[in-house]
Amino acid sequence: MKGTGRTRYLFGMAEDFLDVRGHGYLRVAVCVPEVRVADPAFNAEAHLRLLARVHDEGAHYALCPELGLCAYSCGDLFFQEPLLGRSLAALERVADATARWNLLLSVGLPLAVDDMLFNCAVTLYRGRVLAVAPKAFPPNYREFYELRWFQPAAAARATETRLLGQTVPFGTDVLVRASHLPGFVLHTDVCEDLWTPVPPGTIAALSGATVLANLSASNVTVGKREYRRDLVRSSSAKNLVVQMYGAAGFGESTADLAWDGHGLIAERGELIAETERFTLHGTAAVVDVDPRSLLEDRMRQGSWGQNAALHGRTLRTVEAGVGEEARPASLYETFRRRIDPTPFVPSDPAVRDARCREIFDIKTTSLARRLIALPEDLRRIVVGVSGGQDSTEALLVAVHAVDLLGIPRSRVLGVTLPGFGTSQRTRDNARALVRALGATLREIDITPVVLPLFTAIGHDPSVEDLTFENVQAWARKWLLFSIASQEHGIDLGTGDLSELALGFATYGGDHMSHYGINAGVPKTLISFLIGWAAEAVFRAEPEVSRVLKDVLATPISPELLRLDPSGEIRQRSEEAVGPYELHDFFLYQFLRFGFGPRRIARMALHGFGGRYSLAEIRRWLRVFLERFFANQFKRDCVPDSPKVGSGGSLSPRGDWRMPADASVAAWLAELETIPQA
């Protein structure tokens, strides 16, 4: 594979755009071959069938199970010379058969070193042995008797061994790099090693490894699948790595144990691939992993670097070398992983419901904490309610917060502020929602307030320009602050994270409040929160649920421009700034990882599955970048607000600090390298 380093990523040609390798991804596989106990020749061929399959699917690295070339359940046969000799012959067979492949692979077999037997992971590339990793912690409890046959890695005297005519590194302190795979630094360990309190892989990660591969046998018992998944996810999260895991499958002896052939691949705490279990003829999982995101996270998480400085070591490193790539580039023009088009919103309905509950609780308890910090007679909330989604969500949180504190809902003031662009539908919904919730309704028409302002500054109110919009937004906020002062309460801001990112708010208008309850929640998630609240929180209040569903069916609009002749909303936010689902996707990748436009666009093209053309993605990504950089001054002085998700916050006191006069030129220059179609 040529030309996929960082220079190509930044200044790549249009014809390379679809190739996922040029965006920092690499393809890995977990293989679980069928096995016959004590039959290395059969096992080598079973390995090769699966390895050939994943190679043809474009894998750059493949992991096979513990002792897979002979079988894990050989018992005292491990001491038999024919088994050890045939296992070496099986390794040679695999090495010879894969010598022309651009595929790194790790297989398991028993090896005698210094007159002691070790349970080993052997990593090969193009027919050469690169490294041998002995098992560090052979278990000897319950069903495991490994110390009967195998020595722990610490017992080894040698740091090298002869294997297939080569002298190769031997030990748990070896990393494998491949210059043709940017970001790929491999460390292997064996089964129990991952289950220990301080796994060798953790030390390796703190020493530079980005891919941890665990060759496992791991018999199956009830509940073990869930434990393995938690273990693999946890390792990938705390170590900021790709954690791979491959357990032995069908064919191992069932005299006392059973086997399910469980393969897993996790990245930064997320399980991204899993094999089918209990198959009779072998199985594999292939997925594109993202080492670049790991490196971005490691740079950001200062505590990870501090821990690495304390516990990381200088490990031996083996360079795999570079070979020509004979596989067609078309293999890599399609992602082999799911990219979530709504990263702020879980795709699993059960997870999404649980997440909505947690977010609602975060927001309501945060607001409750603000209220109890005030004198009792000042515990009132003023919310400007427009009939749109953001103000609806803020009102729901306000009502639930006072419920938590035992404060009457009447101390929540829902204020409707109709103006030139207010539709009858949104006005009716705002009124109905406030009443149905038992809050106090107030209504003030802003038209008599803004017309004298237009006269004072000499602005023709028939001209619907930025001044026409901003004066209305300022008037609304001025009135809300005035009511808050009058009622001895706080004005609750309604603006969301997406609007902060795009600067789609009037500075000093809807941009300001005493507390910004929605500022940590993007627009795509606001919608789900309202739908969830209708079903989960306010199910027993049918009128509330009815209004909430109609709010969700109403076009998103600031309602600052006049209605069309039929009285319908003419000003639609997404027609002005673009689809919020795209902008939220851009924001997540930009804020969470610092990815550039080229990579974000390629991810969006795959993630949205053709709903947007590349030209559309490119167009709206330009809008996002230009607006994001131009509107930092608004984010520099936002009210307090709770951070809600790991995707980040735009508070200058929290996740994001940026000069308001920073240039967007470098980002736009990279954007220009994205093909037009």
DSSP collapsed to 3 states, 220-238:
CCCCHHHHHHHHHHHHHHH
Cα 374 from chain centroid?
A: 38
Residue 666: enclosing H or E segment and its boundaries? helix 665-671
Residue from 31, 135, 363, 477 carrying the catalytic annotation: 135
pLDDT digits (tens, 9 = 90+) for 405-445: 999 999 999 999 999 989 999 999 999 999 999 999 999 99
Residue from 191, 267, 393, 634 carrying the catalytic annotation: 191
Which pLDDT score is estimated for 15? 54
Task: Name the percent of the chain lying above pLDDT 90.
Answer: 87
Which pLDDT score is estimated for 607? 97
Q: Which of 226, 132, 152, 240 is nearest to 196 (CA)?
A: 152
135 is catalytic: yes
Rounded (5°) CA angle 115-121-122: 90
Mean pLDDT within 97-119:
97
Q: Which of 155, 149, 152 is nearest to 74 (CA)?
A: 149
Average pLDDT value over all residues in the chain: 93
Task: Name the percent of the chain lying above pLDDT 70.
Answer: 98
CATH of domain 26-322: 3.60.110.10
Cα 595 to Cα 420: distance, rounded to the nearest angstrom: 41
Contacts of 399 (CB under 8 A, 6+ apart): 409, 412, 437, 438, 439
Q: Do domains 26-322 and 349-577 have the same CATH topology?
A: no
Q: Cβ-count burial of 406 within 10 angstroms (0-12 exposed, 13-18 middle, 19+ buried)?
A: exposed
Alpha carbon separation from 520 to 497, 524, 650 (Å, rounded):
5, 12, 8
Rounded (5°) CA angle 529-535-536: 80
Q: Which of 550, 554, 555 is nearest to 572 (CA)?
A: 555
Mean pLDDT within 533-558:
90
Which pLDDT score is estimated for 348? 85
pLDDT confidence of 648, banded at 50, 70, 90? confident
Distance in Å from the first CA to the final CA of the chain: 25
Which residue has tokens 């609750």? 492
Q: Which of 45, 63, 47, 66 is nearest to 111 (CA)?
A: 66
Which pLDDT score is estimated for 455? 96
* Domain covering 349-577: architecture: 3-Layer(aba) Sandwich (3.40)
CB 571 within 8 A of CB 560: yes
Cα dihedral sign, 459-463-467-470: positive
Cα 576 to Cα 589: distance, rounded to the nearest angstrom: 22
Phi, psi of 67 (to 5 degrees): 55, 30
pLDDT digits (tens, 9 = 90+) for 582-638: 999 999 999 999 999 999 999 999 999 989 999 999 999 999 999 999 999 999 999
Which pLDDT score is estimated for 1? 33
Q: Cβ-count burial of 204 within 10 angstroms (0-12 exposed, 13-18 middle, 19+ buried)?
A: buried
- Three-state secondary structure along 584-618? HHHHHHHHHHCCCHHHHHHHHHHHCCCCCCHHHHH
DSSP code per residue over 53-82: HHHHTT-SEEE--TTTTT-TT-GGGGG-HH
Three-class SS state of 210? coil
DSSP for residue 411: G
Q: Which of 239, 470, 232, 206 is nearest to 314 (CA)?
A: 206
Cα 467 to Cα 469: distance, rounded to the nearest angstrom: 5
| Cβ neighbours around 432 below 10 Å, total | 18
Mean pLDDT within 5-34:
74
Q: Are strands 381-384 and 316-319 parallel, antiparallel or unpaired?
A: unpaired
CB 5 within 8 A of CB 22: no
Q: Is the pLDDT of residue 64 over 50?
A: yes
| Cβ neighbours around 142 below 10 Å, total | 6
CB 430 within 8 A of CB 414: yes
pLDDT digits (tens, 9 = 90+) for 505-544: 999 999 999 999 999 999 999 999 999 999 888 889 999 9
Whole-prediction pTM: 0.92
Q: Where are the domains of the chain?
A: 26-322, 349-577
Query: Hey, what's the torsion of the CAs at 99, 193, 158, 208, to 10 degrees?
Result: 70
Which pLDDT score is estimated for 346? 85
Percentages helix, strand, coil for the chain (3-state, rounded to 5) are 45, 15, 40
Question: Is 573 or 342 the better-scoring residue by pLDDT?
Answer: 342
Cα 67 to Cα 420: distance, rounded to the nearest angstrom: 75
Residue from 34, 64, 66, 120 carrying the catalytic annotation: 66
Cα 515 to Cα 518: distance, rounded to the nearest angstrom: 9
Which residue has tokens 């491959």? 246
pLDDT digits (tens, 9 = 90+) for 301-344: 989 999 999 999 999 999 998 878 899 999 999 999 999 999 99
pLDDT digits (tens, 9 = 90+) for 463-478: 999 999 999 999 999 9
Alpha carbon separation from 48 to 68, 270, 384 (Å, rounded):
12, 29, 66
